[in-house]
């Protein structure tokens, strides 16, 4: 979701009327045991994101607040503490509920409590922590305070390719995705198939969901490799938390809610008008995508982005999140072409409550019942962490 380095925040609520203002009510029906909820308009209650964060972690705090390598990943525990790491580093850092640094955990190495190259950080059951190192395929589990519990390799069942850890389940099992790309062709686009698994320690992986993933662009100078994705292609998205797996194809405003076993239990819908991307908006998005490439790669990728953006229809949904209170957030809008990114928020029954404008330039890391945890890169290239609180509006 991050498209620019500067964070500019204005008024961040798109208001919505309540039931007493003449709103049309959602239609809820059952189809073969699957609840289908269609909302013609939001029915409230409305709420807002504070215009300024209540917590900010960054270079002003000195070395503990400096994140300079690639993206930053952060989780928030139930007591408000924030744990974060930078990509390809050998440590993570724990901050208290005010953003004050408490301790740094980890060092370089291959043993328990050490990292060869830390990638992703997740919050596990009971505020425990789970780390995943993509290159070495190592998963480590930690207490909420950062004491190592165990280290195990992520081993796929026989005949299956390696996967990536993307989340955790309440029972300690892992949400793992496996991508299968067909590199045998010669076209610019590489088909991509994604399967979501639930992987328990010492057991086989259970397949939960399979779908056509976002296609990849073939590398212009290394055809056996992928490089980037086509612009404005609807991105399938998913997120799992507290027993809910939310999934959206992206080309229509529809979210599937599935159980931890992958069973479809609810479909949530709202109307949405798709809008065609203009030539000027396409060129603006391309310039953002290639701005950090060298001149040769920039020319090649500019042409690839331009020729593969054939539909040029803004996706209906760009990402889904399960919040800590069980609500579903479905994001839409494209920051790289100057659009605001907005979230439609659905209650636990799937009814459309409100549309909330997101702070500009951020990557969402976690949505709780009381606020939003986000990261972004500032103009100096440092990763920053911010927590924005929610409040109700009349």
C-alpha–C-alpha distance, residues 212 and 215, integer Å: 8
Q: Which residue has the higher pLDDT, 128 or 337?
A: 128
* Residue partners of 45: CB distance under 8 A and separation at least 6: 18, 353, 354, 392
C-alpha–C-alpha distance, residues 227 and 215, integer Å: 10
Looking at residue 22, what is its pLDDT?
Answer: 52
- Tell how far CA 69 is from the center of its chain: 19
Is 61 in a helix, a strand, or coil?
Answer: helix
CA 336, 339, 340, 342 dihedral sign is negative
Looking at residue 312, what is its pLDDT?
Answer: 83
Domains of the chain as residue ranges with CATH: 13-389 (2.120.10.30)
Given a cut of 80, is residue 1 above it in pLDDT? no
DSSP result, 253-322: SEEEEE-TT--EEEEEE------BPPHHHHHHHHHHHHTTS-HHHHHHHHHHHHHH--S-B--S-SEEEE
DSSP result, 338-393: TPPPEEEEE-TTS-EEEEEEPPTT-EEEEE-SSEEEEEEE-TTS-EEEEEEEEEE-
Given a cut of 60, is residue 21 above it in pLDDT? no
Q: Using an 8 Å Cβ cutoff, are 115 and 109 in contact?
A: yes
Which helix (H) or strand (E) is 205 found in, with range? strand 205-212
Q: Using an 8 Å Cβ cutoff, are 125 and 170 in contact?
A: yes
Percent of the chain residues past pLDDT 70, beyond the cut: 93
Looking at residue 336, what is its pLDDT?
Answer: 83
Given a cut of 60, is residue 62 above it in pLDDT? yes
Is 108 in a helix, a strand, or coil?
Answer: strand
Using N-to-C axis directions, what is the helix angle for 279-290 and 295-308, rounded to 10°? Answer: 140
Cis preceding linkage at 45, omega within 30:
yes
Give the pLDDT confidence of 23-43 residue by residue, as tens digits: 688 999 998 899 999 999 999
Q: Using an 8 Å Cβ cutoff, are 345 and 353 in contact?
A: yes
Looking at residue 10, what is its pLDDT?
Answer: 30
| pTM over 0.85, yes/no | yes
Sort 265 into a burial class: Cβ within 10 Å, 0-12 / 13-18 / 19+: middle
Given a cut of 60, is residue 17 above it in pLDDT? no
Looking at residue 4, what is its pLDDT?
Answer: 34
Give the pLDDT confidence of 369-381 residue by residue, as tens digits: 999 999 999 888 8
Give the pLDDT confidence of 146-186 residue by residue, as tens digits: 999 999 999 988 888 899 999 999 989 999 999 998 888 78
Sort 69 into a burial class: Cβ within 10 Å, 0-12 / 13-18 / 19+: middle
* Residue 11 banded pLDDT, cuts 50, 70, 90: very low
Looking at residue 335, what is its pLDDT?
Answer: 85
- Tell how far CA 139 is from the center of its chain: 20
Looking at residue 353, what is its pLDDT?
Answer: 95
As a whole number, mean pLDDT of residues 325-332 equals: 97
Give the pLDDT confidence of 101-148 residue by residue, as tens digits: 999 999 999 999 999 999 999 999 999 999 999 999 999 999 999 999
C-alpha–C-alpha distance, residues 358 and 349, integer Å: 23
Tokens 């993206």 identify what position?
71
Count CB atoms within 10 A of the CB of residue 368.
18
Give the pLDDT confidence of 45-55 residue by residue, as tens digits: 888 899 899 99
Q: Which two tokens stand for residue 159?
A: 């005949």
Looking at residue 8, what is its pLDDT?
Answer: 31
Count CB atoms within 10 A of the CB of residue 65.
21
**Half-sphere exposure of 198 toward its Cβ, with a 13 Å CA cutoff?**
20
Name the least confident of 244-258, 329-343, 364-378: 329-343
CA dist list (Å): 71 to 118, 279, 331: 12, 30, 20
As a whole number, mean pLDDT of residues 354-364 equals: 94
Give the chain's mean pLDDT.
90
**Half-sphere exposure of 162 toward its Cβ, with a 13 Å CA cutoff?**
10
* Residue partners of 273: CB distance under 8 A and separation at least 6: none
Looking at residue 394, what is its pLDDT?
Answer: 66
Looking at residue 393, what is its pLDDT?
Answer: 75
Is 96 in a helix, a strand, or coil?
Answer: coil
């Amino acid at each position: 979701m991050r498209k620019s380095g500067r964070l500019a925040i204005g008024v961040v609520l798109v208001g919505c009327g309540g039931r007493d203002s003449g709103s049309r009510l959602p239609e809820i029906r059952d189809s073969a045991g699957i609840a289908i909820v269609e909302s013609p308009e939001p029915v409230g209650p409305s709420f807002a994101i504070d215009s300024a964060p209540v917590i900010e972690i960054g270079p002003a705090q000195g070395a503990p607040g400096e994140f300079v390598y690639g993206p930053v990943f952060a989780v928030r525990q139930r007591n408000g503490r924030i744990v974060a790491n930078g990509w390809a580093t050998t440590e993570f850092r724990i901050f208290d509920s005010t953003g004050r640094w408490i301790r740094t955990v980890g060092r370089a190495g291959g043993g328990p409590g050490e990292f060869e190259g830390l990638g992703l950080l997740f919050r596990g059951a009971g505020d425990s922590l789970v780390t995943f190192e993509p290159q070495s395929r190592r998963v480590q589990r930690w207490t909420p305070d950062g004491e190592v519990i165990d280290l195990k390799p992520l081993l796929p069942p026989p005949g299956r390719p390696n996967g990536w850890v993307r989340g955790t389940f309440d029972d300690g099992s892992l949400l793992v995705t496996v991508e299968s790309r067909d590199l045998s062709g010669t076209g610019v686009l590489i088909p991509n198939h994604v399967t979501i698994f639930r992987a328990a320690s010492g057991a086989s992986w259970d397949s939960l969901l399979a779908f056509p993933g976002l296609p990849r662009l073939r590398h212009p100078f290394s055809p056996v490799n992928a490089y980037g994705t086509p612009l404005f292609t609807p991105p399938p998205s998913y997120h799992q938390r507290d027993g809910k797996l939310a999934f959206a194809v992206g080309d229509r405003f529809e979210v599937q809610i599935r159980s931890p076993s992958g069973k479809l239990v609810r479909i949530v819908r709202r109307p949405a008008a798709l809008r065609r991307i203009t030539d000027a908006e396409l060129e603006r998005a391309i310039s953002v995508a290639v701005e950090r490439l060298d001149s040769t790669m920039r020319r090649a990728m500019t042409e690839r982005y331009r020729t593969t953006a054939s539909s040029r229809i803004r996706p209906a949904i760009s990402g889904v999140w399960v919040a800590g209170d069980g609500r579903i957030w479905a994001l839409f809008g494209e920051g790289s072409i100057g659009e605001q990114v907005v979230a439609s928020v659905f209650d636990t029954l799937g009814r459309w409550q409100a549309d909330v404008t997101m702070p500009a330039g951020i990557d969402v890391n976690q949505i709780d019942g009381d606020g939003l945890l986000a990261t972004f890169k500032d103009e100096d290239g440092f990763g920053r962490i911010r927590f924005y609180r929610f409040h109700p509006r009349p």
